């Protein structure tokens, strides 16, 4: 039947049929609200987990503790939930950030399939039928744009490391809030429908009594069933999971992490042969900075003292088995660190009981976390060390020789390497 808006013999209806704004343009029989609903429910679970673990990762940096830690000083009310990141269990950040990055990678096929399943709607004309419809479309722009933005910035950051020096944190943090606000609105609108159509049980065909605007009005012959298409998406996710999750473990599991930096092989043999984020050379640390002339300055109410490495080694030494867990989602298993307790250094600085937080400064010349602040609960934990040795050997230069911080459950970048100065109480 011709379109009544156009005169007889007019070529325009045929042309319109061939544009993406026409429902007839999209012919896959796989599309339909049931298919979209299944993917939507998977995203609901997965993206909620990503949002929560992302907020936890942000809290773990102690951005509310001191300006040196805060990469998003204009966050205002968005920091309402910040809390003192605990030091136990010692694998906490390894778990939350491993989940954040690994689940994010595994959800890529699901997100792409979801966008593919709703693509006819993105082209639908007229752009807005009413004020309400216009608002809904703007929220969809924020939802789709926000989802793509978060995935792209996250993936680039893992793969290319500090592609956005200093700016990744604000981009990913504010982007997450914009995305999640749109995600909540979309879920509120669509969840009842998703549950209703899936209650019908069958995946193939249309849901009885529902107008299925996502199904093609003129479907092409099927080449795969909806079940088959979902299995392909699930298979893609599983493959990504298998080829990225291993970088949170050691041994054969890491060998399988083919797709991610810090996967595949450990950097060299021996006690220091475990993953490193930044080498000494990458941040401008030279042999002269860390040689015989190196001294640790400890400051506090008792004044300033300067300690050589030999003097530090002459203090009481303690051991702690702790992992390095990076914001990029990779982690090592527990390593045996040995050195001086931070709380003992606080005593030298003049804090006999209840040590406060500490400002840690590195000799490194470059890098966003050259200076960081640690909270009092982190200084007080008996496993928090200024480590001098690892796995029974001196620290290697790339692991922070002459001395580095190691704190249970803290993100890798708070475990400052090549420490030059500790100032207790002044953050
Ligand atoms: C990254 C997350 C998501 C993106 C980018 C996204 C995107 C979209 C878009 C662009 C549409 C078409 C617009 C429309 O029908 O009005 C849509 C439809 C739909 N979405 Fe989502 N969505 C996401 C998450 C979810 C979640 C979590 C659910 C389930 C709770 C869901 C369920 C649905 C359903 C059932 C439809 C079709 C509804 C209908 O035809 O009325 N989506 N989605």
User: Which ligand 1 atom sits nearest the alpha carbon of residue 41?
Assistant: 29
Whether the per-residue pLDDT at 83 is higher than 90: the answer is yes
Q: Which residue minimizes the CA distance to atom 25 of ligand 1?
A: 40
pLDDT-based confidence at residue 12 (cuts at 50, 70, 90)? low
DSSP code string of 34-103: HHHHHHHHHHHHHHHHHHHHHHHHHHHT-TTT-TTT-S-TT-GGGGTT-------STTHHHHHHHHHHHH
Output the ligand 1 site: residues, CB below 6 A.
Answer: 33, 36-37, 40-41, 43-44, 47, 111, 114, 118, 121-122, 140, 143-144, 147, 183, 186-187, 190-191, 193-194, 213-214
pLDDT-based confidence at residue 179 (cuts at 50, 70, 90)? very high
Burial per residue of 144-181, b for 16 or more beta-carbon CB atoms within 10 angstroms, e otherwise: bebbebbbebbeebbeebeeeeeebbebbbebbeebbe
| Predicted pLDDT of residue 394 | 97
Rounded to 10 degrees, the C-alpha dihedral 268/272/274/275 comes to -90
pLDDT tens digits along 20-67: 888 889 899 999 999 999 999 999 999 999 999 999 999 999 999 999
Q: CB neighbours of 372 closer than 8 A, spacing ≥ 6?
A: 68, 69, 359, 360, 413, 414, 416
User: Which ligand 1 atom sits nearest the alpha carbon of residue 147?
Assistant: 1
The CA 182 to ligand 1 mean position distance, Å, reads 11
How deeply is 61 buried, as exposed, middle or buried, from its count of CB atoms within 10 A (0-12, 13-18, 19+)?
buried
User: Which ligand 1 atom sits nearest the alpha carbon of residue 43?
Assistant: 27
pLDDT tens digits along 214-225: 999 889 999 999
Q: Answer whether 214's CB lies under 8 Å from 32's CB.
A: yes
Q: Which residue minimizes the CA distance to atom 23 of ligand 1?
A: 40
Tell me the average pLDDT across 258-266. 71
User: Which ligand 1 atom sits nearest the alpha carbon of residue 140?
Assistant: 10
Whether the per-residue pLDDT at 268 is higher than 80: the answer is no
Q: Ligand 1: which of 34, 35, 36 to mutate, most ligand atoms within 8 Å of CB?
A: 36
Lowest mean pLDDT among 120-124, 314-318, 321-325: 120-124
Whether the per-residue pLDDT at 8 is higher than 80: the answer is no
Structure-model confidence comparison of residues 17 and 181, the more confident one: 181
pLDDT tens digits along 404-419: 999 999 999 999 999 9
State the average pLDDT for the chain.
91
The CA 36 to ligand 1 mean position distance, Å, reads 7
Whether the per-residue pLDDT at 19 is higher than 70: the answer is yes
pTM exceeds 0.85, yes or no: yes
Tell me the average pLDDT across 133-157. 93
pLDDT-based confidence at residue 7 (cuts at 50, 70, 90)? very low
User: Which ligand 1 atom sits nearest the alpha carbon of residue 213?
Assistant: 40
The CA 236 to ligand 1 mean position distance, Å, reads 21
Q: Which residue minimizes the CA distance to atom 41 of ligand 1?
A: 190
pLDDT tens digits along 376-400: 999 999 999 999 999 999 999 999 9
Lowest mean pLDDT among 88-102, 110-124, 212-226, 262-276: 262-276
Q: Ligand 1: which of 190, 195, 210, 214 to mutate, most ligand atoms within 8 Å of CB?
A: 190
Whether the per-residue pLDDT at 11 is higher than 90: the answer is no
How deeply is 418 buried, as exposed, middle or buried, from its count of CB atoms within 10 A (0-12, 13-18, 19+)?
buried
Calculate what percentage of the chain has a pLDDT beyond 70: 94
pLDDT-based confidence at residue 14 (cuts at 50, 70, 90)? confident
The CA 118 to ligand 1 mean position distance, Å, reads 7
Dihedral sign (CA 224, 228, 230, 232): negative
pLDDT-based confidence at residue 6 (cuts at 50, 70, 90)? very low
| Predicted pLDDT of residue 285 | 93
Q: Ligand 1: which of 40, 110, 111 to mutate, most ligand atoms within 8 Å of CB?
A: 40
């Amino acid at each position: 039947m011709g379109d009544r808006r156009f005169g007889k013999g007019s070529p325009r209806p045929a042309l319109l049929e061939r544009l993406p704004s026409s429902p007839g343009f999209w012919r896959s029989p796989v599309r339909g609200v049931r298919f979209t609903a299944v993917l939507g429910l998977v995203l609901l679970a997965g993206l909620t987990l990503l949002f929560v673990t992302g907020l936890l990762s942000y809290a773990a940096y102690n951005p509310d503790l001191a300006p040196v830690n805060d990469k998003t000083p204009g966050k205002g009310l968005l920091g309402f939930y910040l809390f003192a990141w605990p030091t136990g269990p010692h694998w906490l950040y390894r778990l939350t950030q491993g989940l954040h990055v690994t689940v994010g990678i595994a959800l890529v096929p699901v997100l792409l399939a979801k966008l593919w399943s709703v693509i006819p709607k993105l082209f639908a004309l007229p752009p807005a039928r009413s004020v309400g419809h216009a608002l809904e479309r703007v929220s969809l722009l924020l939802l789709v744009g926000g989802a793509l933005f978060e995935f792209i910035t996250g993936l680039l950051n893992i793969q290319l490391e500090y592609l956005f020096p200093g700016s990744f944190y604000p981009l990913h943090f504010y982007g997450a809030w914009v995305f999640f606000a749109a995600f909540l609105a979309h879920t509120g609108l669509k969840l009842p429908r998703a549950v209703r159509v899936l209650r019908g049980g069958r995946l193939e065909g249309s849901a009885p009594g529902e107008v299925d605007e996502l199904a093609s009005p003129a479907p092409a012959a099927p080449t795969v069933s909806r079940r088959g298409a979902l299995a392909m998406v699930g298979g893609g996710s599983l493959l990504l999971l298998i080829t990225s999750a291993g970088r949170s473990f050691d041994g054969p599991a890491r060998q399988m992490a083919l797709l991610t930096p810090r996967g595949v092989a450990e950097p060299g043999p021996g006690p220091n042969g475990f993953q490193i984020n930044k080498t000494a050379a990458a941040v401008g640390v030279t042999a002269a900075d860390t040689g015989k002339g190196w001294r640790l300055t400890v400051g506090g109410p008792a004044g300033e003292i300067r300690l050589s490495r030999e003097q530090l080694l002459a203090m009481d030494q303690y051991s702690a088995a702790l992992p390095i867990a990076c914001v990029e989602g990779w982690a090592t298993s527990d390593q045996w660190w040995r050195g001086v307790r931070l709380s003992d250094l606080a005593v030298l600085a003049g804090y006999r009981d209840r040590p406060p937080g500490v400002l840690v400064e590195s000799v490194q010349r470059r890098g966003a976390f050259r200076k960081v602040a640690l909270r009092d609960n982190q200084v007080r934990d008996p496993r928090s060390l200024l480590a001098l040795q690892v796995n029974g050997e001196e620290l290697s230069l790339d692991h922070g020789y002459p001395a580095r911080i190691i704190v249970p459950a803290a993100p890798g970048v708070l475990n400052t390497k090549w420490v030059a100065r500790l100032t207790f109480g002044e953050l």
